Structure 1
Amino acid sequence: MSSDALRNSILAARDRRQELLDGLFPTPFPATVMLSLNLPGAEKSGPHADRLFAWGEKELLSALKVTPAFSGADALGPFALYRTRLQATQVKRLGMALEALHPAGRLLDLDVYDHAGRQVGRAELDIAPRSCLICGEPALACIHAKRHSTEELVLKARTVIDAI
């Protein structure tokens, strides 16, 4: 797949996910959680992605009492939506703790939304931004500075996934 085609399929998948989310709100549930993957490189599905997602879902279900709302897969990989009676800020903190439990948690993306569909972010909870998979610096700074090659990031991700 060409880089333009890949970019277009990823953008279309993001749009479809947003449309799906938009249809869920407002909701009587205090929080909705989207579990997805934060994998570097073009390959967002396959055995490594499936293994990581299954591990992340197991960890999420053991950490939080959630009700499944939707699951699927697209150009960004597998994802699932859950609802919970816990408050959104509490769920976000628990989600970040889950991400910190194991290096593979760094490859999970747990987005939390309140009853109205407003996303709860790290910044509003005064929590540091996500760290780089390779060096531990803020991930966005490494992305913007292009400090690490895609190949280096993909290899690190696969090594981390193989350890779960």
Structure 2
Amino acid sequence: MENEKRTMKVMEGSASPLIYIRKVKDKRIESLNEMFQMPVVALRADLPVTMKGSPEEGIILSELEKALKRTLGNKLLFEETYESGVTREILFVVRGDAHIYKENAVFTEESHPLGKFSDIDIYECQEEFPISRLEMGYAPRECCICGDERVKCSTEKRHVDTEIESYIRHEIKIYLEETADKVRRV
């Protein structure tokens, strides 16, 4: 099957735009699983709501999309981008074992300088929920501010958005400077 890329604009519904977008994405993943009978990789920037649709979200997604495409290589069958005024998410249909892709996703989230600001989910065929880090034996994601479990910090709102935003912008600036330095040295 030929590698195909599509962009889909998602219209915002009357309910919360993020909830609407998630429902549309979930239905699309289900449809792609049925159509291709292959795993789906979903990439999104994991940012405070105040940064959704921001240039920082674009940088994170662009850089991680490049990294994932290098990893996926000729296993990438189809790519689709969802965009709204609120957020952007990229879906990849891939040939192979979903659990291996989850290992690759965890590695990317933990090793890429911007990976800690992403969420890479892997959906197996016929499964409603993505493969979890815990079921694969990995530790929960860490908070980029304090190192505790990210879900606890998020649920308990331990950090104000401005603190998180400042940290993310600082890390992106460092990443872009280091990337530019590497390009100049070549």
TM-score after normalising by structure 1: 0.87
Indicate the percent of aligned positions where both proteins have the same amino acid.
Answer: 25
Give the whole-Å Cα distance in 2 for the aligned partners of 1:76 and 1:123: 29
3-state DSSP class of the match of 1:123?
Answer: coil
Q: CA deviation at 1:43?
A: 2.4
User: Could you list the per-position Cα deviations for residues 2-49 of structure 1 after superposition, in whole angstroms to 9, with x for gaps in the alignment?
Assistant: xxx9x8111111111112122223354442101111112322113211
- Bigger Cα Rg: 2
Match of 2:163 among 137, 141, 152: 152
Report whether the alignment pairs 1:59 with 2:70.
Answer: no
Give the whole-Å Cα distance in 2 for the aligned partners of 1:35 and 1:144: 21
Q: CA deviation at 1:80?
A: 1.3
| Pairs within 5 Å for 1:1-164 | 8-65=16-73, 66-118=76-128, 119-164=130-175
TM-score after normalising by structure 2: 0.77
> Which stretches in structure 1 are left out of the alignment for 5+ residues?
none
Q: Is the 8 A contact 2:33 2:39 kept in 1?
A: no
Q: Is the 8 A contact 2:80 2:92 kept in 1?
A: yes
Give the whole-Å Cα distance in 1 for the aligned partners of 2:37 and 2:173: 35
3-state DSSP class of the match of 2:16?
Answer: helix
Q: CA deviation at 1:136?
A: 1.0
123 and 75 in structure 1: CA distance in 2 versus 1, 3 angstrom threshold: farther
3-state DSSP class of the match of 1:129?
Answer: coil
2:102 counterpart letter in structure 1: K
Q: Is the 8 A contact 2:34 2:125 kept in 1?
A: yes
How many residues matched? 160
1:50 counterpart letter in structure 2: G
Higher alpha-carbon deviation: 25-34 or 49-58: 25-34
> Which stretches in structure 2 are left out of the alignment for 5+ residues?
1-12, 176-186
